[in-house]
Chain A
Amino acid sequence: AQSVTQLGSHVSVSEGALVLLRCNYSSSVPPYLFWYVQYPNQGLQLLLKYTSAATLVKGINGFEAEFKKSETSFHLTKPSAHMSDAAEYFCAVSEGGGYQKVTFGTGTKLQVIP
């Protein structure tokens, strides 16, 4: 069965500092991996996705994530945090096939300190 673990339910960074949100996955087959962002009182929006092409995936708003099979990780990074990055971030995994049920992590709330 597929699963996702997000380390740290809350992360605080200073404006301009590196953002690193951690995600580890478990999957019995090569997975599809996703990062979603949720701003307050809104739905989820796709940031980026890994679908077995390049292991370094670039997304919107300057975010990127690297798929590391040996570490079963898909950490999300951004070189310089902006106040507008404050939101909740969800990592998700899908094993593909047919409907492709997606399993979400429990989320990490990012606080950006001015």
Chain B
Amino acid sequence: NAGVTQTPKFQVLKTGQSMTLQCAQDMNHEYMSWYRQDPGMGLRLIHYSVGAGITDQGEVPNGYNVSRSTTEDFPLRLLSAAPSQTSVYFCASRKSSGSSYNEQFFGPGTRLTVL
């Protein structure tokens, strides 16, 4: 199993540009989440999904959009990039039930810089 994969690893954008961060998992996990990590602030939840076709907002959703058309994929879209969105983005997935259902598996992250 590849686990949780994220692309790209690094990205530089100009203010106002849009882009999509890709996330995929091959563990058949129902729950998927996007977090951003900023120095001294830990991880903050952006959006999450409890299954294909179902998404909801987290703590810091403004400026981001998500969709979940398949169990495997959960892309994060930046609609109009702003310098405040410079951060490291992590995708995570986990099971919805059964043993170890509350253990999250994280991808390697995408480092985004907005100029």
Contacts and interface: CB of A to CB of B under 8 A. Distances in A.
Interface of A: 9, 32, 34, 41-46, 49, 51, 90, 94, 96, 98-102, 104-107
B50 interface: yes
B42 A43 contact: no
B26 interface: no
Interface stretch (B61-69, B72-80, B98-106): B98-106
Contact of A106 (B42, B103, B108): B42
Nearest to B4: A43
A106 B102 contact: no
B40 interface: yes
B84 to A, nearest CB: 18
Contact of B31 (A45, A46, A99, A104): A99
A51 B102 CA distance: 9
Contacts of B104: 44, 46, 102
B45 interface: yes
Dominant secondary structure at the B interface? strand
20 contacts: A42-B108, A42-B109, A43-B4, A43-B90, A43-B107, A44-B43, A44-B90, A44-B104, A44-B106, A45-B106, A46-B103, A46-B104, A51-B102, A98-B50, A99-B48, A99-B50, A102-B104, A104-B35, A106-B42, A107-B40
Contact of A101 (B40, B41, B58): B58
Nearest to B56: A99
A41 B108 CA distance: 8
Given A90-B42, A99-B48, A106-B41, A32 B109 contact: no
Among A9, A34, A43, A51, residue most surrounded by chain B Cβ atoms (within 10 Å): A43
Contacts of B109: 41-43
Contacts of A34: 102
B40 A104 contact: no
A105 B42 contact: yes
B112 to A, nearest CB: 14
Contacts of A90: 42-43
Given A9-B40, A105-B42, A107-B42, A43 B103 contact: no
Contacts of B56: 99
